[in-house]
């Protein structure tokens, strides 16, 4: 049985985790798992848990470890049934030191199916730039890929230099359809609720900054942590990250 490569991307909101994950998806055939997308999907369920998740997300707060780990385990178990799966990339997981422990134990339990070696930290982007990215971000409702809302004349040309995503990103605004080849449903582009408010964005940044050091320390202790410069162009980041794919 082939083992599936498992990689995690961590860092502050807007640092480029989703864009890097989408590159792995487009160019390497990886399955992208966004905990944020999964939790937002859960928040739309008419259940007590769904309502609780929706309230926490709207305030820019984290969901409890037990809920997140259970949801992630269910999702992983489902997709790992595909024996021909090349790789899985987590966008924004783990989000706590306890989630690191959980994922390591999950990988050990399924070591015949999973090859888990690296947690990539994207850093070196100042908060003022992160706020700009989030305020101008659009998200495909079908595949979860992040776009730049160009109606504000905000398109960081150098950021997408040489990236195969650049042609898809141009001249996109809210309501347009996603044209990416792996987006079979070609979802509409929307602004996420937690990207619309500076207060919520600041809460998300503070929440992440509070837990990121302990996550990094735990990953470094396990020799899982690798650091990428999030200020580089997205394709430069991707090329650097490719060193850790095997």
The pTM of the full predicted model, rounded to 2 decimals, is 0.89
pLDDT in tens, 165-222: 998 888 899 999 999 998 988 999 999 888 888 998 999 999 999 999 999 999 999 9
| Alpha-carbon gap, residue 28 to 68, rounded angstroms | 26
| Alpha-carbon gap, residue 224 to 33, rounded angstroms | 19
**What is the dihedral sign for C-alpha 78, 183, 236, 130?**
negative
pLDDT for 1? 61
pLDDT for 23? 94
The domain total for the chain is 1
- Full domain range(s) for residue 151: 4-244
Nearest to 134 by CA among 212, 226, 65, 36: 36
Contact 13, 91 (CB under 8 A): no
Query: For position 208, which CATH number holds?
Result: 3.40.50.300
Residue 202: enclosing H or E segment and its boundaries?
Answer: helix 198-221
Burial zone of 212 (CB within 10 Å; 0-12 exposed, 13-18 middle, 19+ buried): middle
């Amino acid at each position: 049985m082939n083992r599936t490569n498992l990689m995690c991307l961590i860092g502050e909101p807007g640092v480029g985790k989703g864009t890097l994950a989408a590159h792995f998806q487009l160019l390497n055939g990886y399955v992208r798992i966004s905990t944020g997308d999964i939790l937002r999907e859960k928040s739309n369920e008419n259940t007590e848990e769904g309502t609780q998740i929706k309230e926490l997300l709207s305030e820019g707060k984290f969901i409890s470890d037990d809920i997140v780990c259970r949801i992630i385990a269910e999702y992983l178990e489902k997709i790992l049934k595909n024996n021909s799966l090349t790789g899985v990339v987590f966008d924004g997981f783990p989000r706590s030191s306890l989630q690191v422990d959980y994922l390591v134990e999950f990988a050990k339990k399924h070591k015949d199916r999973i090859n888990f070696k690296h947690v990539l930290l994207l850093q070196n982007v100042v908060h003022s730039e992160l706020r700009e990215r989030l305020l101008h971000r659009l998200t495909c409702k079908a595949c979860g890929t992040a776009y730049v809302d160009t109606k504000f004349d905000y398109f960081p040309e150098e950021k997408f230099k040489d990236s195969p995503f650049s042609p898809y990103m141009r001249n996109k605004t809210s309501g347009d359809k996603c044209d990416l080849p792996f987006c079979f449903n070609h979802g509409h582009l929307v602004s996420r609720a937690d990207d619309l408010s500076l207060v919520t964005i600041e809460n998300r940044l503070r929440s992440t900054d509070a837990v990121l050091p302990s996550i990094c320390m735990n990953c470094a202790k396990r020799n899982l942590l690798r650091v990428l410069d999030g200020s580089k162009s997205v394709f430069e980041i991707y090329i650097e990250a490719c060193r850790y794919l095997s």
